[in-house]
Structures are given as C-alpha cells and as structure tokens.
Chains A and B, each alone.
Chain A
Amino acid sequence: MTAGPAAQGAAPPSPPPGAAHPDAELLDDIVAGALRWLEAIRPCFRLPPDAATDADPNTTLKPLGELAELAHVMQTLHPLPQVRAAAAELFAFAWKETRGGELFAELVRGEPVATYPVELYGVFARAGLRNPAAEELIAATTSLVRWRVAREDHTRTLGVLNAERRIGLPEHTGFDRVLALTGLGLRPEPWALDLKAAYGLTHDVFHTADWGRSPGRLPAPLADYLRLWLPAWTETWTEERLWDLVGEFLAVTALLPGAPYDPAAWRRLAAARGADGALPERGDPPPGDAPDGERFTACYHSTLVAAFAATLARSRPPQPQSPAQSDRAAPRTTAHGGRPAGSPDPGGAAAEGPGNTLRGPADPRLPLPESEATP
C-alpha cells in the first residue's frame, strides 16, 4: 500500500552537526524526557477501531496527528542521532496506526468536505509516505469548487494550504492573501492578544514556516513583529502557567531568525515538568498515581510541543552578534527573560544586566533534507 518514496521519510539525511548550543544540556534533557514519556505512553496514541466513524476525533486523530507532525520535525532536524532514531520510531508508529494511509481513504469517503483528513495526510505525504487510494479520493474532493469556499478560520485555511503544498495539490487560494487576514498578518495590538488569538498566531507561524523547516517564508514585517512581542507573550503566559502555549511561543522564537534565546524562560518551562519528563498543559503535573489516560490527556500535547520547541532551538544554535558582545553569550539565571532588545547599547554598558541573551543565526535557512515537500 505504501508507495515508493516512503524510504525517504524513514531515513532522512542527518543535518550537519554545526555549532553546539550553549544551552544544549537543558534542551537535550527536555527532549529526552519527553521522548521517554511519549514512548511509555505510546499505547494511548493508538486509534480505536471506530476512529473513522464514531470516535471523537479530538481525542483520537488529533493526538496521533500531532505526534506524527512533531515527531517528524524531531526526526528531521534534531542534531543528535539517538533523538532522531527515537522520533523516527514514533513517526513510523503513527503511520502504522493509519494502516499505511488506508485510514485517510476511509475518512475522506466518510467526510468528503472535511479538511482534517487532508491536513493529516499531508503530514505523512510530506515525508514521502503515500497511499494511492487516499490520494485519488483527495484529488477528487479538493478539485471541487466546494473546496474553495472560504472557511471560517483563516489560520485553519493556512493549515489546509500547507497540506496542499505537501501533497502536491494546487493551492486552492493564495497563501499570502489568507495570511494577511490572520491574527499574525494583521499585526494586531500585542496587548490585545487573548488565549484563542495566541494559539491562532503560533499556528499562523507554524503553517507558514512549515513547522520550522522554512522560516524564511515568514514575511519580514511579520518576523519583526514577532521578535518584538514574543518576550512579552512568553512572560505573561508563563505567569499564567499555560505551558503548552509557552512551549509554542518558545518554538516560534526558536525558528525566528535573529530572535534572542531566553535561557530563563526555558528554565521555567523545564521546571514545570513532572519527574517523568512530561509537561502538563497547565499548572502542576498530574499526580504520579493518576491513570495513564488522565496523564495522557493532561500532558500529551504540551509534552510534544516542548520536545518540538527544544528541537528547533537545538537545531539553530544562537550566535553572539559580534565579538564585542560575546561575553553576553552565557545562559543567565535571573528570574525574568528578555533582553533590552532595542536598547541602543553600543558600548555594552548594560551587558551585566538582564540583557544577556543569545542571538539566532543570521541565515534563516535550515539545513533542509529536501528542498520542498511538493513531489
């Protein structure tokens, strides 16, 4: 059932080792803990027999889809071979759960106008895992005028467009035009961001940058906007202890060319984890004796996000801006992050202060194993 290029996804070329990340120990601990926990809780990702019919997709297909999407980023971008291997196993597990993609044919047959089967299939198609039956059905449904009717949520439309790119379908509408209408594209007042808009904004970035693989796709004004305000959002949602969103902001920061690395924010995220390496979605970790199902629901999303964010950070070691400022490049442990970013600080007068942050590489390009997903 699996088409030829599948092997491409199973054994991606390793990214070059590159410079070591000054905070590698912490970042690697986050990924290792998350992978350990995900491996142990893996049975909870299994799809029930009625996954294509009666089961609640929010608690079945969504977790599996997230596992596949984020595991594949780790498998592709993480510099450590053992991490890539563990992530590859999780990704292969997810594909197996879809019965080599047969699931998508069933889902499309059952819900021909739904976008989520296409979005999910795109995760695997990008990695070269294909299912001809699903693809024939998808070609039939996505070529309808019906498919081009505007959807309520522009962020979601970006996800659909990214899936179309990945599968190699024509884009049903202009990506940039849709992006311009989103909570990122409009660059709303940063203090007016609420929870829902925050999730929308991080996903605007993920869909545009193909989950960190193509950060250069973010238009410069939007990247500037994000660089300016991410520290404030990361800070307030850390205060609120909404760890999945904090992880998403850290992931966006990590993929953004030139955004400063904030060691303090990462430390607070790491400290929110349970002893088992899982990161709760909000607040404290569930009690150790909580049943698997409960721990899964409370932690799977945020734990995946944390591993994803740490992978992006690890794959793009920040570089000191200039030799004159290299003395800043040590992780700091003060309570609050955020350097005085715009501060004119030519002489480094404020260097001892909270300004110690690490700059991302100037080159936005990641070492991509494949130039584009489009076959």
Chain B
Amino acid sequence: MLHTNIIANMNEVNALPLQVKNLQITKNGNVLLKDVTLSIESNNVTVILGPNGAGKSLLLRCAHGLENLSKGSLMWNTNIPQPQQSWRAYIFQKPVLLRRSVRANLEYVLSLHSINKANYASLIDAALKNTGLGQLADRNARVLSGGEQQRLNIARAWVLQPRVILLDEPTAELDPNGTAGIERLIMTIAQEGTKIIMSTHDLGQAHRLANDIVFLHQGRLIERTPAQSFFEQPQTKMAQDFIAGKLLNGE
C-alpha cells in the first residue's frame, strides 16, 4: 500500500459502495441523464463507456458533487458527495494548472485540505516520484508539455492519497505516447488500492484498463457488466454495435 498513513486517518472512510438510484439530470428542459441506477462495490477500475453525449462526464461530475441532481440520489456509502472531501479527487480532461511551480501546485492542493504542514514535503515528494515529475519540480507548471501537464494533474489528485479518483477522459487530448504514460499511471494507482472510475469513448482504452464497464448511451444506462463479458458477450444490441464500431442511432 502506498498509503503512508500520513493522511490515512482523514481518508479513513468507507467510500464504497457508490450507490446511484434513479438518477436524473435535466438542464434547460433536456433530460441528460435518465433513471440511472447502479451500484459500484469492488475496489478496481470501472470504466464509463459510451459515445459522445452519452452522459459519461455528467455522471462523474455527479459523483464528485459538481452537479445538482434533478431526481434520484447518489451516495458514497453513507456520504453525499461534496468537492471538499479529500478522500476523493477529480481529474478533468484538460487540466487547469496554477501559474506557479510544479511543487507549488501540489502544495496548493494540500493547503485546501486541513493537512499538517509538516507532512507536505513527504507527500509531495512521493507524488512527484510516483508520477515521474521529480526532475520538473521547480518548473513553471504552465510551460510543461501536454503529457507532463496531465501527469501533474494526476499528481495533484494522488498527493492527497485519496480512496477514489474520478477521471474524465484523461487522455483525450494526448498523443499515443502520452496516452500510454497516463494509462500506466492509472494502472499503478489502481494496484496501490485506489478505486478508479474513469470515462472514455475509446474502446481500446476501456479494453486495456477496465475491470468492469458502465455503458451509457443518450443518458441511459445500457449495460453494467464485468469488462470481460462486456467485450466477449455484450448483452444489448447497442453494446454489440458500439464494440463493432458502428454508429449508434437514437432510441
């Protein structure tokens, strides 16, 4: 376990299961998520899969407390999600890094949560080492390459040693090389015992990373199965078409 117990006490929550019941999000009269019900129990990599506009990001945002629910409920065990909870981190597709050094970016995240300053150095050093950013610690974050920026983005989540990391299409803006690096990082984090829930529209990526699949289309939950059975024996026509690379139609 990477969890060095420095902030383990703070994050000593039973995050799982994530329970979603009859979740609905309506914006400007458009129903964007409809009647989503699912439960995520196991501590591995869950991939939310689906074409653009399926509601993947929205579901992740709900899980981090960034959206107001129109109907239904979403709970992490007994907790209603709020962005301030340090046991869970959220990673955007395109990171917005602060105009300061790599190290200072990590310090900033720690300062948002009540963490003893004495522990900053060891937490940051660990995060830098794990993400391979050690050499770049004193660089201005804004001048890093795209791949380096996304690694810092992940370091920014990891430095809190969270129980759960939510990632919204984390490699959508990266080249294959950068993508491979980020995927390796995600695998490492998962192996260290952190729950990963990430969205992607990239089948190959889902195949490479997922333990189980949440397949969404047009705001509805279509399939929820272990990854192996999803790819080998998709239950629904829509999932079959998606795996076969066909364009999906409306209902």
Do these two chains interact? Answer: no
Which A residues lie at the B interface, using CB under 8 A? none
